[in-house]
Structure 1
Amino acid sequence: MEAALQPLSGAPLLGATAIDTGVEFALAAPNAQAVELCLFDTEGQTEVRRLQMPAAVDGVWQALLPGAAPGLVYGWRVHGPWNPAQGQRFNPHKLLLDPSAAAVLGEYGGQDIHLGHQA
């Protein structure tokens, strides 16, 4: 797997899409200021890499990870304003699941660590 994300253009498929040259990632987050793609080990326990996504086009953050194969365990860290009155609760300290992911690894046990921002 190569080191850098490559910007994409065109209408993306949201989530992770395997193609011949790697995996395309796309996330709709029109109010985000930055998005990071976090890659994990095969058990989903240890973050092994964090990559800054190229700037969004029309509210969609999309890039190609060359050389990547299907089955990657990943999540998102999304940066932006904290303004609950406006419906904006960005918190890059929280790992987000991809709403377009084909599968989720592991189980949620209800721990407080998964709750939103504590003001």
Structure 2
Amino acid sequence: MREGLPFPLGATWDGLGVNFALFSANATKVELCLFDDTGEVELERIELPEYTDEIFHGYLPDAHPGLIYG
């Protein structure tokens, strides 16, 4: 997980990976949960590494559309 960008909000694929950006004025951290293809088994939990102007953000290289996350 790299630091990524605070905008745009949400999950944004750039062809090489996915940037995750989420607003929260009150959270102390945000974790990205990755699931298997069925969406039933959590495979990994990654803390978003950056916080800019109440936006938690991180970039996951090699992630792609269809990735099941929460």
The answer to whether TM tops 0.5 is yes
Q: Which is helix-richer, 1 or 2? A: 1
Displaced runs of 4 or more, over 3 A: none
Summarize deviations over 1:41-78 as a string: whole Å, max 9, x none: 11110100100111311000111100111111111xxx
Q: Normalising by the residue count of structure 2, what TM-score does the alignment of the two structures yield?
A: 0.90
- Give the equivalent residue in structure 2 for 1:16: 11
Deviation at 1:30, TM superposition (A): 1.8
Q: How many matched pairs?
A: 70
Mapped contact 1:24–1:62 kept (Cα < 8 A): yes
Mapped contact 1:37–1:53 kept (Cα < 8 A): yes
- Matched letter for residue 36 of structure 2: D
Q: Are 1:6 and 2:5 counterparts?
A: no
For structure 1, the residue ranges without an aligned partner over 5 or more in a row are: 76-119
For structure 2, the residue ranges without an aligned partner over 5 or more in a row are: none
**Aligned alpha-carbon RMSD (Å):** 1.2
Q: Which is strand-richer, 1 or 2? A: 2
CA distance in 2, matches of 1:33, 1:40: 23
Q: Any idea what SS the aligned residue of 1:73 has? A: coil
Summarize deviations over 1:69-101 as a string: whole Å, max 9, x none: 1111111xxxxxxxxxxxxxxxxxxxxxxxxxx
